[in-house]
Amino acid sequence: MCLAVPMQLVARREWDGTAELGGVERQVSLMLCPEAQVGAYVLVHAGYAIATVDAAEARKTLAILEELLAEDVPE
């Protein structure tokens, strides 16, 4: 299973940038999302921004992920 996580782009250089989520910053390639601008949310998978998403959709996805993480996992 693959998972792409919405992160906010906080800095940008030509073909890469810095994305942030929950105070954690990661370097990401923007080769697949050349249109992404600082402040936008990008879906990040394996170090690549693979798509841009609007802020409302990003918040909705992050809320679902938080809910899943809060659930007890059966042993």
Q: What's the CA gap between 39 and 46, in Å, rounded?
A: 20
Between the alpha carbon of residue 25 and those of residues 9, 10, 18, 19, 74, the distances in Å are: 9, 9, 6, 6, 31
Q: What is the pLDDT of residues 55-65, one digit of tens each?
A: 999 999 999 98
Q: Are 42 and 6 in contact (CB under 8 A)?
A: yes
Q: What's the CA gap between 28 and 34, in Å, rounded?
A: 12
pTM: 0.86
Q: What is the pLDDT of residues 20-56, one digit of tens each?
A: 999 999 999 999 999 999 999 999 999 999 999 999 9
What does the block give as tokens for 27? 């370097």
Mean pLDDT of 5-13: 97
Q: How is the chain split into domains, by residue range?
A: 5-70
Neighbouring CB atoms inside 10 A of 39's CB total 10
CATH number of 5-70: 2.30.30.140
Residue 46 pLDDT: 95
